[in-house]
Amino acid sequence: SDAVEGDDDKNKFIVTFPYPYSNGHLHIGHAFSLTKAVFRAQFERHQGKNVLFPFAFHCTGMPIQAAANKLKTEIAQFGCPPQFPEDDPEVRAKMEAELQAAAEAKKAQQIGDKKAKGGKTKLVAKSGTGIVRQWKILEKMVPPEEIPQFVDPIHWLMYFPPLGVTHLKAFGAGVDWRRAFITTYVNPYYDAFIQWQFQVLRSKNKVLFGKRNNVYSLVDGQVCADHDRSEGEGVGPQEYVLIKLQVLQPENSEDRHAKITKLLASVGDKKVFMVPATLRPETMYGQTNCFVLPTGEYGAFEIDATNEIFIMSKRSARGLSCQSFNPAKDIGYTKEFGKINCLETFTGDELMGLPLKAPLAKYEKVYTLPLLTISMGKGTGVVTSVPSDAPDDYVSLKALKDKPDFAAKYGITPEMVDPFEVVPIISIEGYGDASAVYMCEKLKIKSFNDKAKLQQAKDETYLKGFNLGIMTVGPHKDKKVSEAKPIIREEMIDAGQACIYYEPESKVVSRTNDECVVAATDQWYLAYGEESWSSAVKKHVLNADTFNAYDPQSLSKYDYTIGWLKEWACTRQFGLGTFLPWDKEWVIESLSDSTIYMAYYTISHYLQGYDNLNGDPAKSPAKVDPKDLTTEVFDYIYRNGVLPENCNIDVAVLDKMKGEFRYWYPMDLRVSAKDLMPNHLTMALYNHAAVWEDEPELWPKGYYTNGHVLVDAEKMSKSKGNFLMMNETIQKYSVDGTRFACADAGDSLDDANFSRETADSAIVSLSNEDIWITETLAADNLRTEGEYNFMDKVLTNETNRLVSETETSYATMQFRDGLQHGWFEMIIARNEYRAWCQDSGIPMHADVVRKWAESLIVLICPVCPHWSEKMWKQVGKTGLAIKAPWPETDEEDKLLTRQAAFLRSSLKNFRAQLGKAKKGLSNATVLVSNSYAQWKIDALLWMQEQYKSNGNTFAPTFMKELKTWTTSNVTDKKLIKFTMQFVSFMKKEVEDVGAMAMDVNLPFDQKSILVGSEQSIKSQLNVEEIKILLLDSDDGDDGAPDRIKEQVIPGKPYLWMH
């Protein structure tokens, strides 16, 4: 698609999809999310829009470089082709056993004395060998003889993106491939574009430099951004306060305290501290003890900045060594970044029973006690205990008091626990001054094994404590906890009683398999969160006139992320990408070079053109040299800058590119999986708002996000055999079968389900309709003249209705609903019509069938375009189905819809009534009534009043008001229940067909409809004759008993077998 000159109304639609990372084949997860954009693009073509759906491939970042390095190491170590040790069955068994043992030992350490569960480790279960080899991964995608070339990361860029193009073409993606490209410096055109973007950001003070805390890989030696992670995407730094509990001289000369006694003697004046990490420094007034894990492994580490010794886990000490003690003076906790000296190691048992001096605590000294639920993978492995406000602490301390044998098992004596009572420190209305005690008693929590209840108690006490709590002790007594917390934090730090520590919010593992820490490093960063910037983005997103999130949950997520997203490290020193234009030591990371590239699509076909993914200047359609793409040139194209002087690019080309951008922007829709909401999608909003600060009308107009996809209701897994590559799936189930199953999988933020059975059945369904439409329209037994009968009108009306409903579903990105209306319900409507005609002995009408068939072909075209193209020609249409206009229809006749529903439901009820009739009865009489009982008339009239008085809708309080009305107006108390049920049913009828459902007299002739379908009814019920009688008329009742006649009401005739 190209810009249309003179199209002032800009009848265009541009939809984009996040370019996939090009280190392998596309899988069904890519395909599922991609279809949302593909379907919407095709739907908009049917609406007469000029549609642009471009595509590209992301190669920036660490994964490709890391994989190439890993392959190079494997070849160097094991030969080419490599002979891996695990290829030998005996060696493999031994390696798996070692991995299993190591995993179980780690799990046992994490859960204390409890036994680790058996079963294979996740790694062994996934790979079968427990060893992940890069060669083996590539072997599944690349001919073995080509694998050695992949030691060069650039080869990945030359191999996988063109393969992606081939697979997407096979998928019928409908992409303008002239605009396709890859990222990184390998593509000089895109490289120039990203350099310009960052020059603009820097000129607006959005890119800054300084020490910042970021998730960091010590192995890689750089910040580990989301796309550089194999685990922990979206996880950021979490700030903790380390509380310094000074270790005092052990009181009894126990053997287990020999190491700590020796340490205290050897360090001279240096103080030794247990350092629990807490998020609640304001609660330190209530400390009664300190917890460690008996089987945990701890170390005593030198802290150079304070000349102190911290006892903590090795994992947390590793992180602390990467952080700043005094950021203003650039002083780290240790002299050497990432290095910390361990003076001694301890098990938790060797720390048990130590006397400690806890800052702010009421007690002069407290003791180290056992806690079996401590995770050594979070915090420092040391936990300070505040039983007044922490349910876990209260339950654990109480257990040690109530069970002396349990305490004695860990060498804990009564004097270490009995004197220490709960210290009230925070008052919460409704919870008292010891909220943890209150919640534990309320929920009847008996032990620390009541994990679900403890979590509930913890969540509630922490939330209420922060929002409603009032301090009852200390210098900040009577202040709100929310106000006192930051003050107490600073006071403790200033007094040397605490310090700051960071770690990732949850586990993060880099693609080089390094567990990441949080490090304070010199870094170029984007100042997301800066007030004027974030407020502008939020204003845009929360305005329904400027931005469509398609889902309230998604909108809330963007709102939250805009408030949460702060400074973001935008560069690193390893991996592929674009070098920072003013500091070539840094490479722009993958989430920062992918925020406004949608604008590059609008001009890339002039710069690169077809079959030129890597931007070979010799293939440039406009003969543009990438060296000529200066900041001034891009400013002219994108930001209404002045025409650059002495520019080597033809002015006509510049104006065409500028015109293309101005025509296609703003981006109408971006489609993505939900995991990009807290990073890429929000960052794209920020960057558009910065680059086009003065033109908010150019910012993105809408984002649609979907959940992840399961396969046959299970998470995709190679071990389960349900990990589906896109190209293999379309080869097995056909393109349209695969797309059909994607459309049927679901459209919400919840995980969708790609069903292979649905893909299979789609092939059958599409084939069946192909045969029926072709044969039926070619036959000579269709009616071509005469007025439409009732069912002709019904199918025409159903077609009108379903065309409209499918249009609404597609426009709102509800493709499963669109498939339901535009395929399944269309076929049901046709089946109903076909059956009626066959049963009645009346041929189908050619015009009705043709209108239905041509509508069906277009309705399903966004989902199954290959089938539609074939059928478009089969029915004698010229041109392409994908260019066909959306079916023109009349407005749905809701009365006719109701009449059809009446006939449909009557037949269903007749079949049920026939099934319940006594065997041997052969006389069939259908009884019809045009009048309601008086109590139903009264109810309907009341409903009409409520509906009109509330603006032709029912108020949210309607059912509550109904209860009040029935109590006051229904004199026969036995009828109250029936009235409630009747009104509830009729309310649903109104919601389906409108206000006519409340008419006291039906707006159509029931008997006439049934008589007109008499032959069909007889055939459906397999009876030779049938009478259709209108009660309260000259028809009589054929002697029907009262118990039968009482069941006949308007809209619900009754089949009486006698």
Is-above-0.75 flag for pTM? yes
Separation between Cα atoms, residue 272 and residue 192, nearest integer Å:
55
Q: What is the CA radius of gyration of the chain?
A: 36
- B/e letters for 370-384, b = 16+ CB within 10 Å, e = fewer, are bbbbbebbbbbbbbb
Contact (CB, 8 A) for 407 and 417: yes
Contact (CB, 8 A) for 854 and 730: no
Separation between Cα atoms, residue 407 and residue 401, nearest integer Å:
8
H-only helix segments in 665-717:
682-691
Per-residue pLDDT at 107: 61
Place of tokens 């010229």: 878
Low-confidence ranges of the chain (pLDDT < 70): 6, 8, 103, 105-130
Cα 489 to Cα 278, 312, 359, 360: the distances in Å are 11, 20, 12, 12
Separation between Cα atoms, residue 324 and residue 212, nearest integer Å:
9
Per-residue pLDDT at 840: 94
Instruction: Please tell me whether the peptide bond between 666 and the residue prior to it is cis, using omega within 30 degrees of 0.
Output: yes
Let me know if 789 is exposed, middle or buried by CB neighbors in 10 A (0-12, 13-18, 19+): middle
Residues 677-733: pLDDT tens digits?
999 999 999 999 999 999 999 999 999 999 999 999 988 877 778 889 999 999 999
Per-residue pLDDT at 211: 87
Per-residue pLDDT at 428: 93
Query: At 908, which helix (H) or strand (E)?
Result: helix 894-916
Cα 649 to Cα 191, 607, 628, 664: the distances in Å are 18, 11, 7, 22
Residues 942-971: pLDDT tens digits?
999 999 998 899 999 999 999 889 988 888
Per-residue pLDDT at 116: 38
Residue 723 is encoded by which pair of tokens? 């990990």
Per-residue pLDDT at 995: 85
Residue 530: alpha-carbon gap to chain centroid: 26
Phi-psi region of 623 (alpha: psi -120 to 50; beta: other; left: phi over 0): left
Separation between Cα atoms, residue 416 and residue 402, nearest integer Å:
13
Separation between Cα atoms, residue 346 and residue 655, nearest integer Å:
72
Per-residue pLDDT at 114: 40
Give the three-class secondary structure for 354.
coil
Contact (CB, 8 A) for 425 and 389: yes
Give the three-class secondary structure for 965.
helix
Give the three-class secondary structure for 498.
strand
Residue 719: alpha-carbon gap to chain centroid: 24
